[in-house]
Every structure is written in C-alpha cells, then in structure tokens.
Structure 1
Amino acid sequence: MSETTPTNSNLPTPNRYTTTHDPATGLSIFSPALPTALAPYGSIGMNASPSTPSKPSDGVWFPATNETLLRYCDWAPGSTLAFHRTETIDLGVVFQGEMELTLDSGEKRILRVGDTVVQRGTLHAWRNPSRDTWARVVFFLLGAPPVRVGGEEKGERLPWREGS
C-alpha cells in the first residue's frame, strides 16, 4: 500500500480570497491571491490564513493573543494528532468525513459533517477513524491567555515542540 500524504488527498484545494482597501480610492478590493497549498505534518495537511498577513504570527501553528487564524486541516484515513493544549479559543467545523475528539478525561466524541466544537485550553487529541475516507476540519483560532482551573494555570502543551 502506498503512503498516504496530504499531497494525495482527494479533497479540493481551498481558495482563499482576502479583501482590503485601495489606498488611492478607498474602495474595497480583493488583495492579490496568496498560496493555499497544504503544509504537510505527517499524514495531515494544514493551511493557515493569519488575520494579519504581513505578520503571520507563528507560521502555520497558532496566533498570538488577540490575533486570529483560519486553518484548514485535511486528515488522511487513520491519521492522528497527539494530545496537546493551545493558548487559543478554537471553533471547529467538520466539512468532510468524521473525526474523533478525545479529551484527557477519556471522554470521546465522533464529529460528523456539520458538527462544531468549541475548545478553550483543553488537553485533547484528534483521530480520523476512517480506513478509506479523508476528513476536513476548518478551525477559527483566536489567540488567548492561558486558562486557569482551580487557581492553576494550564499552559500550552505541544509535544511536537521541544520543551512543551
């Protein structure tokens, strides 16, 4: 069996249109197109659109406090993302396939097309439970301060970054 990578996904490449203003006329215009290619992370492809294109925050990962990021994530069949916690408020919508969301409490939910999830600093993991169907989830992320629970700060935890 051939390796499954974001470059052999059967999902359409999303187009990104950004509006701005013409400095000469003050009229609303479309800015030049920006690349929409998916950046591979294992068998997951990610595309990020920062709120401030000239200041892309943290590359393809997370926005700074009070900044936003729109991210497409295409998940190959069977792909996973390990437990992690971010300093963001995440709003996610499943557009294709199904995704399993697991919390550190052991609770799990299967999210299907049209389902939404709101996360704020929770330790969680993702998995595409399908053997043959790609999944696409679109996330809107708002950078936020760390969550405090019972007086304890729950900081960022990113196993793919050293020291997290």
Structure 2
Amino acid sequence: MSFQKNVKASPLRDNTRHITTHDPTTGKAIVHSSTSGNWSSFDDGKLGFNVIYTTSKFPPDINGDEDIKAHEKVMASDKLGLVNPGGTVCRTVDFAPGYECMMHRTQSLDYGIIIEGSVEMILDSGEVKLMHRGDVAIQRATMHAWRNPSETEWARVIFILQDCEKVEIGGKELGEDLGRGTSGLPPSGNDI
C-alpha cells in the first residue's frame, strides 16, 4: 500500500472542519477555528484519508480547550493508527471507482456513514451488503473490507471509530489485524 502524506486523491469536494468553543468572558458559543482537510493518499491514490478530529479519553475534557490541545498533540505525533487508544477518531475516507481496500479488523466500535456514492461492506464470512448514501454500518471489531462498486464515481464514507474493550470469541482474543500491504499506517496499539 503506497502512502503519501498531504495529498488529496479524489476529485470530491474537500470538507471543512469548524470547531466551536466558548468565549471565556461571556460564555457564548464562538468558532475556535475553521480548517480544510489534511488528506493522506494510499494505494496509488485510490484511497484517501482525512482525520477530522480525535479524542484521547472518554468522556473528553473540553474545559480550557483540553480536547483541542490533545487532538493537536495526537496529530503532531504522526503515530495515529486507525484507532486512538482510549478515545475516538472521526475520519473521512474516499474510495476510487472500483477500489476495494484490504480485509482488516480494528479493535473498535465504528460508525460508517455513507455520504457520497455507494459502498459494499464485505465481511470475512463472504457476506456482502451494498450501502447507499445515508446508510450506516455499525462495525463491531469484525474482519471486513470496503469496495466502491461504481466504475466511474468516487465514494465517500465518514467513519467514527471508538476504542473498545478487548474482543474474545470462542476463547480467542481477536485484536487488530491491518491486513496486507499496510506500510505507512501505524498500528493503533490499543490491543496490547
């Protein structure tokens, strides 16, 4: 899996993140910052990641903008895997036409919300579900892949990944499995 940092692969519109906070004098809501995406490209530009936000504990501490400081520290570390141990990750993922990502598993409870195009959720059992704009997948630490079935259009999914307790099935601990060809993607480290 080839990896390029700060490269947006898809032609889909960039998304802007607007973070709110409170005016320390009035207590009224204000915009802390508005920033465009910071994309990374994988698999020769067929897969794009944009981390929108992370938290590093649950529940997060938003007093004094502690959560924003924690997010900035995580992003500066360059060590964020798919999951942030003890916290959450909100990520936009773009899939090229016909692209299928590697079969993988994260130790997390994930919400995958289709916002552009259609995506197939492929499970290691062989089961496949075609999902359309507005559909939501609840991934519960299962082995899965994603495929964009369109031959011409890009697809976009927003994923919210939440760290979870270790998963044990039939006496076997599952843990994270990033699958084939994942160089450039650090392990999450939450299954140690």
TM-score (norm 2): 0.73
Q: Which residue of 2 aligns with 1:18?
A: 19
Tell me the CA shift for residue 13 of structure 1: 0.6
- Tell me which amino acid in the other structure corresponds to 2:15: P
Tell me, yes or no, if structure 1 residue 54 matches structure 2 residue 75: no
Structure 2: any 5+ residue segments left out of the alignment? Answer: 1-6, 56-66, 188-192
- Tell me which amino acid in the other structure corresponds to 2:33: P
1:100–1:150: structure 2 CA closer, same or farther, 3 Å change rule? same
1:45–1:31: structure 2 CA closer, same or farther, 3 Å change rule? same
Taking every aligned residue pair, what percent have the same amino acid on both sides?
36
Whole-angstrom CA distance in 1 between matches of 2:162 and 2:120: 22
Tell me, yes or no, if structure 1 residue 156 matches structure 2 residue 176: yes
Residues 96-111 of structure 1: matches in 2 within 5 Å? 96-111=116-131
Q: Which residue of 1 aligns with 2:106?
A: 86
Whole-angstrom CA distance in 2 between matches of 1:41 and 1:90: 21
Give the helix-richer structure, 1 or 2: 2
Whole-angstrom CA distance in 1 between matches of 2:8 and 2:37: 13
TM-score (norm 1): 0.85
Q: Any idea what SS the aligned residue of 2:102 has?
A: strand
Q: Which residue of 2 aligns with 1:3?
A: none
Whole-angstrom CA distance in 2 between matches of 1:156 and 1:77: 27
Q: Which residue of 2 aligns with 1:118?
A: 138
Whole-angstrom CA distance in 2 between matches of 1:111 and 1:78: 15
1:150–1:60: structure 2 CA closer, same or farther, 3 Å change rule? closer
Whole-angstrom CA distance in 2 between matches of 1:68 and 1:21: 22
Structure 1: any 5+ residue segments left out of the alignment? Answer: 1-5
- Tell me which amino acid in the other structure corresponds to 1:47: N
1:108–1:71: structure 2 CA closer, same or farther, 3 Å change rule? same
1:7–1:91: structure 2 CA closer, same or farther, 3 Å change rule? same
Q: Which residue of 1 aligns with 2:91?
A: 71
Tell me the CA shift for residue 144 of structure 1: 1.4
Whole-angstrom CA distance in 1 between matches of 2:81 and 2:177: 16
